[in-house]
Structure 1
């Protein structure tokens, strides 16, 4: 049966959506809005692929509504102390907002072999629970904001696990780090050997950046994880001490049992010149909006006035790693404080 191309065909919008769903794989509940149900299509050709401008407009409208709904769901599901609070429109950078001092901003770079527990250690620092299932990490960036003794602090955590095969990218991460958490597994000797190599790489990279004749002394904390697997231990404490000496703070931990991690976090705070209250057991988690209100309220007080509230912190759910251009500029500024910068810092 032939169809007259000039004849108007009245189709319910659900039929259009079924065609759209079959092409995009997007499934959604039926649309019952009267304005959409009364839509009219005037096809120029009997083929389904040639949808009229009216039909395309309907699809764009529906797709826009879906995106708005998905955004609302994502916002309501976010957990940063209070899951019912709406999220800020962008990541919170205390330095850019003028809510803290440069010396109160710190970046911790986390390195180590795969499957040693880096992600779960970071989860503990962020106040989250241990996750049993293993998922490979390409790169994770977290930001935790603190309010301690009337001052605001910002700690960025970069899990650079996926940079093992990209030396230049890993070198840039090392050069931008203020302190380092190196993780190996006590039941995996190869992971310990890799951690030792990373320590040497960090020292060499920092020495070259600062134009030092000898390897730089860098704030490194070494974490021997999976201490709960005592029967499968492959690396002893005495071996670690003999290999690395006393220059590196070493802790045996279990991210699963949450043992030994307080010492790790306290050592990172001490090496970075941060308050001990940055350890998860010594502060309370609040929502990101509550934290912002607290900082703004503190800023409005007179200079010299100090808050006396309990230490608290918030995890920024929208935190994203700064661009590589920004990181490279940061490295170049660090280099020019001492001498002329290298031609290329990350090679």
Structure 2
């Protein structure tokens, strides 16, 4: 059975678990509430396709790893007027990537953009997150809801193709056959291109 089909079945059964982390008072709860509202309106459902978990990681290394291991994606939040909260987020990125690897979706959210901050700090923060850590970076204002939809869109970019679930074994087999055919066609096309241009 195709890997993507297994992921689809897993999401259908368990949903996508999104862990939301960050210092206190950086707006985690408000961000979650906004995301839940946007996703509910988009899916036109009150289901638990995306399960947001606000958490505080344990100081015990083994328990910390165990907690990180339970999530599928991460939203790491800091406040633009709190330098310590940004430093904490960079620590969290290292912790998450050490456990889950660099392919796991990690969204870093700069909240409270309604607060005064310098353009230099914003540029530096964006470079650190997107270049040094290779994570997605969003500037938002949770109180007004500004740009929260961009986080939701990114979640759909990662998981949207798994949100339409087969309703029968026959449909599941059809999905698998289509995916296998597309994979073979893609490989054949790449081989043809290499031969045409004499690429080895």
**Equivalent residue runs for 1:72-83 within 5 Å:** none
For 1:102, the equivalent position in structure 2 comes to 10
After TM superposition, list the pairs within 5 Å mapping 1:163-312 onto structure 2. Answer: 163-207=57-101, 216-229=102-115, 231-232=116-117, 236-246=121-131, 247-271=134-158, 273-274=159-160
Q: Which of the pair is proportionally richer in helix? A: 2
| 1: CA distance, partners of 2:109 / 2:119 | 15
* Paired positions, count: 157
Does residue 118 (structure 1) correspond to residue 4 (structure 2)? The answer is: no
Alignment root-mean-square deviation, CA: 3.5
Q: Could you report, residue by residue, the CA deviation over 1:109-168 in whole angstroms, capped at 9, with x for unpaired residues?
A: 11111110001100112229xxxxxxxxxxxxxxx889959xx8722211113x354544
**Are 1:222 and 1:251, in contact at CA under 8 Å, matched by a contact in 2?**
yes
- The CA deviation at 1:267 is 1.2
Seen in structure 2, the aligned counterparts of structure 1 residues 147 and 181 have a Cα distance that, compared at 3 Å, is closer
1:283 counterpart residue number: none
Runs of 5+ consecutive residues of structure 1 not aligned to the other structure: 1-99, 129-143, 208-215, 278-294, 305-347
Task: Tell me which stretches of 4 or more aligned residues in structure 1 moved more than 4 Å.
Answer: 144-149, 232-235, 301-304
* Aligned-partner Cα distance in 2 for 1:127–1:190: 29
Flag the 1:276–1:265 CA change in 2: closer, same or farther, 3 A: farther
Structure of greater relative contact order (alpha carbons < 8 Å, 6+ residues apart): 2
Give me the whole-angstrom Cα distance separating, in 2, the residues matched to 1:234 and 1:189.
14
Correspondent of 2:54 among 159, 170, 174: 159
**Using the alignment, how far apart are the partners of 1:240 and 1:147 within structure 2?**
31
Higher Cα radius of gyration:
1
Rounded to whole Å, the distance in 1 between the matches of 2:59 and 2:65 is: 11
Measured after TM superposition, the shift of residue 182 of structure 1 is 0.5
